[in-house]
Structure formats: C-alpha cells, structure tokens
Chain A
Amino acid sequence: MLTAIRNMSKERAQKVNLVADCAALIFASCAASIGGGRFHWIVAPSLALVSVLLWTIQSRLLRHYDAWNGRNVGSDFALTMLTLAGMMAVLALLRPVVPRYAAGSNLTTFAWVAAPLILWLRLTTNWLRRREIAERRMLVVGIGPLGRHTALEMLEANDGRNVVGFLRFTRESVHDRLPAPILGVATEIDGLLKEQVVDEVYIAGQRDAEHAEMQKVISVCERFGVPFALPAAGFRFSRAEPQHQAATMDGYIHYLSVRAKPVQRAIKRAIDIGVSATALTLLSPLLVTVAALIKLTSRGPLLFRQARVGQHGHQFNMLKFRSMVVNAEELKARLLAQNEQQGPVFKMKSDPRITRVGRFIRKYSIDELPQLLNVLRGEMSLVGPRPPIPAEVAKYEAWQRRRLSVRPGLTCVWQVSGRNEISFEEWMYLDMQYIDHWSLQGDLQLLVKTVPVVLTGRGAS
C-alpha cells in the first residue's frame, strides 16, 4: 500500500500536495459558512474561490509546489505559515469590501480548519518530496571499490543527492561498471569545477596510495569554495564505532570552506524570511502602484527575469521590475556607437532604452524590490555577494569562484561602500573578505547601512 502511494506520486508529490491543499481550503470554506445554525450557500463557494485563488498565486510566487526548491523542512514550514497568514490577512481585508458575500462567513473557523490541515499536508508530503528529482550534484573522485560504493550508497539513499560523475586517480583503471560517467582525471578537477555545477566532492581515495592527488583535489576544492568529504577512517573495522556517530553519518567527514556557524546561519535564514515577508507586506501599496505605472506607461511584461548564478553555481531567475523597453537588447546594438565606457561594459548617461518610470524606480532601487521574493524562495538572502550573470562566472578566476560558496544577496559590502568607483578586482576582494569573516552581527550592520544608501538614491546605477 505504502509503496503504491509512493510510486503513484513519485514525481507528483507537489501535485498531490496542491490538490489536497485546495481540497482543504474548500473544506475549510464550507466549515466557515456554517453560522447561526444554517449553511450560507452564497458564502461557501465565494470564500472557496477567493481562498484557492489567493493560495495558488502566493504559492506560485514562493514556488511552493516546485519539484525541488532546495529549502529545508524548517524554512519550508515557516513559509507555509507565512503564506497562510498572508491569505488570512487578505481575506480579512476583503470582508468589508464585499459584505454581501462575506456576511455569515467565520474567518476564525476558516483559519482553525485550514491551517492545521495545510501544515499537516505539507509535512506528510515532505518525505515524498525529498525522494524526488535529485538536485544536489555530487562528484566522486576515485573509481575503486570505495568510490563505487560511495556513489551507489548515495543513489540508494534517494535523498536528493545525485552523482554527476567520477574522476579517476591516475593509477586507477576501469574495472567495474559505474553508476555514472567518468569525467576525467583527478588532477583536472579545476577544469571540471569551472564547467559543472557541483555541490560537494567526495574524495574516495586511499591516503597512502593517492596522497598527492588527494591533496591537490582538496586544495582546488578549498580555492573554489566547494564543500568536500574525506573518508572518515581509511582503515578496516570489524566492531568499533565512532563515539559521535553523527559526525560520520555516511562514512565521510564533511568539510566546508566557509565558516559553518550553523546556529547563526539558521538565524540568518529566519531573519531573511521574516524581514522580506514584512517588507513585502509593508511596501505592497508602493509595489502595486509601481506595477500599475509600469503596465500603464509601457508595453510589455511587469517583471524582468534575468538568469543569475546562485549558491554553488545553481542558476535561478532574479526578479526586477522592468525599467527598459521590451526590445532593449536590439536597441543596444544600435547604440553601441555611443558607448561612454571602455571595454565590454555598456554604459550611457541618458540611455534612451530606459522608460520614464524606469528612471525613477532605478534611482531609488525600487526595481530591485521584487528580489524580496527571491529571498523568500530561498534563492537569495538579504545580505550576500550580488549574484553574477553566467557570462561573468565563465570569466572568473579560481579564487573568485568562491563567491558562489554562499547564498547571494540583495546588498553587500560593495553596495554600501563607494559603489561605482571600485574596480572589479577590488570588488571581488571585498566580497571574499565578507565571506571569510562572516558574522550575523556584520550582516545586520550592513543591512542598516544599506537603508540610507537606497533612500538617498546615492550611486545606484
């Protein structure tokens, strides 16, 4: 029975979740329509319609039902609660607006029925979700028995870890069939890390036999800021167990090139969610006005989605309010003759591609506000190195790739410093300093410093 359910929803956990959530909302609507001893026939469908609509819009924005959103359970749970709170707030605001449809509805009942159901559904479908699309990309160095078993164990665990491939140590030759392709030799790992998205490198070698090559792999991982894992023992045990089992859960010791600080990171994420949700709520009148202005004054979509490179090289769509005309890229070719800056960067003082509304929202960084959604979704953070575009990452030197070892952010050291007059090299250096000396306190200070920079419209270009 259990396997039947698992198979049925193997790649559909979120669809099951969505349908069940909508059913829960409809059920809650019916429950909320019983008042004064009778069932209000007009309230139930209207409440159901509005709540399902609100729920799906919010869920779409927060990518609630995406195959894999990379969020952990706690973060996901918090977001579900926020979505519920948001929906309840809008429902409460609507009450006086449409009294005919709302009279007789009982929002308290609605909340008490809907909230536990939806949160419970989220938790129960979570274990299904975890078995879905493998998105954490692992690289295994070593194709001997250890490498092979490591990869097979990962794939068998079915917890979202996928093996992108193997690198072999130079002395190793291929004997067995492996569950993933061999992508090259261990010493060429830097080339591979530049091309592929890798979340962690498992170095499955024997310390004595492959010492030099393992050292090289470790050094490259450190320089690139890619997490790696080393075999915990390297010896044969018939009985003994590590005293602290959690440290070597999968037989490996895991290393990070950023300071771990797990508690502070968790608080940072909680602040990200809290602040961005609050900001989106408080700024919603402004956001709606700007959205309306953009739509009214120029033809085209409201948001501009740009592919950016996130943590560990995973790409995501960064959201901005559109501030340029739709065919900006075509126009750019024609305007190149008037470029005011040397090199590959295109910059003009009065760029004719920017719309009138665009000029205003750029000056006060309002065009960046939709990125609060990226923060809520977990793709970005409030504070962190600005996410680069893929073309820029392709040109990075090894040490600069370490910028990708943390979640990118809305603001960072560079944004609150002098802004434009810093060289690229210096900018990268500042970001690296931020990563190496990261602390929660520092983040909060940067946030506070960002506010006046944005409000005065200083240097934003």
Chain B
Amino acid sequence: MRKRLALVVEDNPPERDMVAGWLRLEGFEVETAVDYRAAVAALTSIRPDIICCDISLPRESGFDLVEHVRANQATAWIPILVMSERHSPEDMAQAEHVGANAYLKKPFSRERLEKYITALLDGPHSSRPSVRRLRRM
C-alpha cells in the first residue's frame, strides 16, 4: 500500500521537526515547508493526503494558504488541519470560514494530533468531518 503523504507547513524548526517526526511515526511520508511560498511551490509537484499548517507564517499567513488550496481545483479536496497558538472562538470560526477542516490549539500532544489526523482521514466522512466531532474526542 502506498504510504500516505502529509505536508507540514510551519516556520518554527523545532515545532516543524516535532510534528513531522510524529507523523512519520504514524506511518506518513512527510514533506515540510517553512512558509506559504514554499508550500505553494511544493503543491505544484506533490499531492499530499493532508496539510497541517501554522497560521502565523513569516510572509503570507496560513489563512492565505488555506484559501489558495481551496481555490485551486486540483487541491481543493485536501483536508487541512490548522495548528495555532491563538485560542479564541473567533480565530477558529475564521479558520473554518476560509475552509480549514480542523483547528488544533498549540501546544498539543502527540495523542491529540493522532486523533485529529485519524478523524480527518479515516473518519466516516473523511472528506470534511465536522469539527465538533473532532473536538469531542
């Protein structure tokens, strides 16, 4: 079976390595990108099964990346997990408005990341699972 591919977009190296490491332990093949432009470039050559992206990136923001992914027909179906240190309901609603599928508050544990990833990819409605279902787990 083909290994599933994840794209991790995170500008902070330790966090990027941590998330990528956890995903590799989950059996993912992992590509990383440091910011919006690197991610957009990567998406021209790869088709990840999931995108995990930070919001506060150095140049364009994570929101811009989500919008870019959704606007592009070839990538619009990819589930996106937003990871952010912003915890207000407004931020979560904004992420949902632009098209993110789930919102993971930083800092998070490996178990929590696994749960979110599993629910996004293997849940009964794996294309766009309800965020509520994710959060209740």
Contact = CB atoms under 8 A, between A and B. Distances in A.
Interface of A: 144-146, 148-150, 152-153, 156, 176-179, 204, 231-234, 236-239, 248, 250-251
Contacts of B87: 153, 251
Given A237-B86, A238-B63, A239-B56, A149 B130 contact: no
Contacts of B88: 153, 232, 248, 250-251
A236 B63 contact: yes
10 contacts: A149-B89, A149-B92, A149-B103, A149-B131, A152-B132, A153-B92, A176-B130, A176-B131, A231-B90, A232-B90
Nearest to B60: A238
A149 B93 contact: yes
Nearest to B62: A238
A251 B105 CA distance: 14
Contact of B91 (A144, A177, A237): A237
A144 B86 contact: no
Interface of B: 55-57, 61-63, 86-94, 96-98, 103, 130-133, 135
A177 B132 contact: yes
Contacts of B93: 144-146, 149, 204
A152 B90 contact: no
A434 B49 CA distance: 63
Contact of A239 (B61, B97, B98): B61
Given A145-B96, A238-B61, A239-B61, A204 B89 contact: yes
A145 B132 contact: no
- Interface SS, A side: loop
Contacts of A144: 93
Given A204-B89, A239-B56, A145 B130 contact: no
Given A236-B63, A238-B55, A251 B132 contact: no
Nearest to B54: A238
A153 B89 contact: yes
A152 B130 CA distance: 13
Contacts of A145: 92-93, 96-97, 131
Nearest to A232: B90
Contacts of B131: 145, 148-149, 176
**Smallest CB-CB A-B distances: 4 pairs:** A251-B88, A238-B61, A146-B93, A149-B89
A236 B62 CA distance: 11
A236 B89 contact: no
A145 B89 CA distance: 8
- Interface SS, B side: helix
A179 B132 contact: yes
A152 B93 CA distance: 12
A231 B45 CA distance: 40
A146 B90 contact: yes
Contacts of A179: 132
Contacts of B96: 145, 149
Contacts of A237: 86, 91, 94
Contacts of A231: 90
A61 B103 CA distance: 47
A341 B29 CA distance: 86
B44 to A, nearest CB: 23
Contacts of B57: 238
Contacts of B92: 145-146, 149, 153
B90 A233 contact: yes
Contacts of B132: 148, 152, 176-179
A380 B8 CA distance: 56
Nearest to B130: A176
A146 B103 CA distance: 13
A184 B42 CA distance: 47
B61 A150 contact: no
A146 B55 contact: no
Contacts of B135: 152, 156
Contacts of B91: 237, 251
A150 B89 contact: yes
Contacts of A156: 135
Select the residue from A146, A204, A234, A238 with max chain B CB neighbours within 10 A. Answer: A238
Contacts of A176: 130-132
Given A156-B135, A177-B130, A238 B97 contact: no
Contacts of B62: 238
Contacts of B94: 236-237
B98 to A, nearest CB: 8
Given A152-B135, A251-B89, 15 more contacts: A145-B97, A145-B131, A146-B90, A146-B93, A149-B92, A149-B96, A153-B89, A153-B92, A177-B130, A177-B132, A177-B133, A231-B90, A236-B63, A239-B55, A251-B90
B19 to A, nearest CB: 19
A179 to B, nearest CB: 7
Contacts of B133: 177
Nearest to B94: A236
A248 B89 CA distance: 11
A274 B87 CA distance: 40
Contacts of B103: 149
A204 B89 CA distance: 9
A159 to B, nearest CB: 14
B61 A146 contact: no
Nearest to A250: B88
Select the residue from A144, A178, A237 with max chain B CB neighbours within 10 A. Answer: A237
A306 to B, nearest CB: 41
A149 B113 CA distance: 19
